[in-house]
């Protein structure tokens, strides 16, 4: 059977230069092909976006943008099951979790629709000096200009909503390049927005034929705001190449730390930590990775986590019972296994897992006390691996948790309020969860990677603000009225 083919979503008759084959990461079977464009296609998309932005008389009024976003959410809700299954098939996230992703994306569009009526300007005080007397000053907001987004594979629909939705809400034309592994969900989102009434040029999507073409898209001087979700290596490189004046937000990853006090109830915390570490095969930028525990409970905790992982069915993400799906590519499975074996050879104790189950599936793995200089301890694993370390005391745990050049989300488990608050204040993190895992997120909260983990603040309302400029108006009363 021939796989379905997806055209690019550029609002012009651009001739494609190739086709990208999209595979199911579980069994590597082809599921679709997608058009690719070269720099001529990028030029067309950016020219359309720039032309729309420059025509102020043609800007979409707020009430129209609100109606479009609301209607798109309704359409997505009507097709939620099909979208969840497609996301599971292209990205490998189990169907039960892909359904949650689609529900979040629907709510995200509704969140975007609320923003134009809830975010306004402010008065700037005047009259405090003689020079400012007789003036009234206030701010308004306008779209910043063309937005370019490059997205990641691990949440193919919801991440696209986080990048495209705020741009539509703010009145910015947007061009998005989804991840090569998972373009289908993003293309569906663009189609839903257009079906909901968004003129085609205001939201375009494309797949590039090369990294050079993708870089040309991001670094073009017409780009007013660049939104990137992906690896730190690529994100920081692109930021260094941005045109003067282009603002940006970068969301990378980390090696999220968890500190566990001795007073915890393992039966209550193990399911949370296991979910936070093994969810989506660990392919989440804030997955639980490093767990620092009191020596009295470290070994029982590690064994309980291994048992929890062993009880999670690994396999076909489209199956109802699957809890952990594949890694996105065979090379990632090989890399994770190499890192685990390297840590074991250097002295880590394997508590559970530690083996490949197929070309793309890896067993949920728990290691006890891997060396602090091992790659599993110093780099983002992005696989279903949880590390447990015995720590002499709380200060030792905090020191080790803060030792890496990443800082994103962290967690503390304790029934002692003083322990929890003191530890949370000492952790280098943009967010600290108390008695919850590091991967907790709702889409309206700030979501910020610090240090090498990113730049700027994600979250739908925060991206919306980034995609606007605050314009000051000063009215002078000359006293003749």
pLDDT for 112 beyond 70: yes
361 is a catalytic site residue: no
Residue 119 — very low, low, confident or very high, per pLDDT cuts 50/70/90? confident
pLDDT digits (tens, 9 = 90+) for 69-105: 999 999 999 999 999 999 999 999 999 999 999 999 9
DSSP for 16-39? P-EEEEEE-TTT--EEEEEEEB-H
Query: Could you tell me if 206 and 175 are in contact, meaning their C-beta atoms sit under 8 angstroms apart?
Result: yes
417 sits in which H/E element: helix 417-426
Q: Which residues of 348-370 are buried (b: 16+ CB within 10 A; e: fewer)?
A: bebbbbbebeebbbbbbbbbbbb
**Which residues, in sequence order, are bridge partners of residue 22?**
32
Average pLDDT, integer, range 226-248: 96
**Helix pair 158-170, 62-78: axis angle to 10 deg:** 160
Average pLDDT, integer, range 363-382: 97
pLDDT for 317 beyond 70: yes
**pLDDT for the residue 224:** 98
Residue 2 — very low, low, confident or very high, per pLDDT cuts 50/70/90? confident
pTM (2 decimals)?
A: 0.95
Interatomic CA distance for residues 250 and 457, integer angstroms: 8
Percent of the chain with pLDDT over 70: 100
pLDDT for 1 beyond 90: no
DSSP for 373-409? TSHHHHS---SSEEEEEE-SSHHHHHHHHT-SSEESE
Query: Could you tell me if 309 and 352 are in contact, meaning their C-beta atoms sit under 8 angstroms apart?
Result: yes
Domains, in order of start, for the chain: 5-252+453-472 (3.40.605.10), 256-434 (3.40.309.10)
Residue 478 — very low, low, confident or very high, per pLDDT cuts 50/70/90? confident
**pLDDT for the residue 157:** 98
248 sits in which H/E element: strand 247-251
Average pLDDT, integer, range 464-476: 96
Least confident span in 148-157, 237-246, 470-479? 470-479
Query: Could you tell me if 193 and 219 are in contact, meaning their C-beta atoms sit under 8 angstroms apart?
Result: no
**pLDDT for the residue 409:** 97
Query: Could you tell me if 272 and 307 are in contact, meaning their C-beta atoms sit under 8 angstroms apart?
Result: no
- Using the 8-state DSSP alphabet, how is residue 284 labeled? S
Q: Which residues contact 430 (CB under 8 A, 6 or more apart)?
A: 407, 408, 409, 446, 447, 448, 449, 450
**pLDDT for the residue 453:** 94
Of 251, 332, 361, 391, which one is the catalytic site residue? 251
pLDDT digits (tens, 9 = 90+) for 451-461: 999 999 999 99
pLDDT for 48 beyond 90: yes
285 is a catalytic site residue: yes
Write down the mean pLDDT value for the chain: 96
**pLDDT for the residue 479:** 72
**pLDDT for the residue 38:** 97
The residue behind tokens 């043609």 is: 58
pLDDT for 481 beyond 70: no
Give SS3 for 51. helix
Residue 393 — very low, low, confident or very high, per pLDDT cuts 50/70/90? very high
* Rg from Cα positions in the chain: 24
Of 112, 172, 248, 285, which one is the catalytic site residue? 285
Residue 331's CB is within 10 A of a number of other CB atoms, namely: 11
pLDDT digits (tens, 9 = 90+) for 121-131: 999 999 999 99
């Amino acid at each position: 059977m021939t796989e379905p083919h997806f055209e690019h979503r550029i609002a012009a008759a651009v001739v494609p230069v190739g086709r990208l084959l999209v595979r199911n990461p579980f069994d590597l079977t082809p599921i679709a092909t997608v058009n690719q464009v070269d720099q001529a296609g990028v030029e067309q998309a950016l020219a359309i976006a720039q032309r729309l932005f420059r025509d102020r008389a043609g800007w979409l009024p707020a009430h129209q943008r609100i109606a479009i976003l609301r209607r798109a959410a309704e359409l997505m809700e009507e097709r939620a099951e099909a979208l969840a299954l497609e996301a599971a098939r292209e990205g490998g996230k189990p169907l039960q979790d892909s359904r949650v992703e689609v529900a979040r994306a629907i709510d995200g569009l509704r969140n975007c629709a609320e923003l134009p009526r809830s975010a306004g300007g402010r008065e700037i005080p005047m009259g405090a000096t003689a020079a400012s007397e007789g003036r009234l000053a206030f701010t308004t907001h306008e779209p910043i200009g063309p937005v370019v987004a490059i997205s990641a594979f691990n949440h193919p629909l919801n991440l696209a909503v986080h990048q495209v939705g705020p741009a539509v809400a703010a009145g910015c034309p947007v061009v998005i390049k989804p991840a090569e592994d998972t373009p289908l969900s993003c293309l569906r989102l663009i189609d839903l927005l257009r079906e909901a009434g968004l003129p085609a040029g205001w939201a375009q999507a494309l797949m590039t034929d090369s990294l050079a073409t993708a870089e040309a898209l991001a670094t073009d001087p017409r780009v007013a705001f660049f939104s990137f979700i992906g690896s730190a290596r690529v994100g920081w490189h692109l930021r260094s190449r941005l045109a003067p004046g282009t603002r940006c937000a970068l969301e990378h990853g980390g090696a999220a730390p968890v500190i566990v006090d001795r007073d915890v109830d393992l039966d209550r915390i193990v399911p949370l930590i296991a979910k936070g570490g093994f969810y989506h095969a660990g392919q989440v930028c804030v997955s639980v990775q490093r767990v620092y525990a009191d020596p009295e409970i470290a070994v029982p905790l590690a064994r309980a986590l291994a048992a929890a992982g062993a009880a999670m069915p690994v396999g076909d993400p489209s199956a109802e019972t699957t809890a952990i799906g594949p890694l996105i590519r065979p090379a990632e499975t090989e890399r994770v296994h190499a890192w685990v074996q390297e840590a074991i050879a250097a002295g880590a104790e394997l508590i559970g897992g530690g083996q490949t189950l197929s070309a793309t599936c890896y067993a949920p793995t728990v290691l006890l006390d891997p060396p602090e200089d091992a790659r599993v301890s110093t780099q983002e694993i992005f696989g279903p691996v949880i590390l447990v370390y015995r720590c002499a005391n709380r200060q030792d745990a905090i020191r080790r948790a803060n030792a890496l050049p990443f800082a994103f989300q962290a967690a503390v488990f304790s029934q002692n309020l003083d322990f929890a608050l003191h530890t949370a204040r000492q952790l280098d993190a943009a967010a600290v969860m108390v008695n919850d895992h590091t991967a907790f997120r709702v889409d309206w909260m700030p979501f910020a990677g610090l240090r090498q983990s990113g730049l700027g603040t994600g979250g739908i309302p925060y991206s919306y603000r980034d995609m606007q400029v605050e314009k000051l108006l000063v009215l002078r009363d000359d006293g003749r009225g």
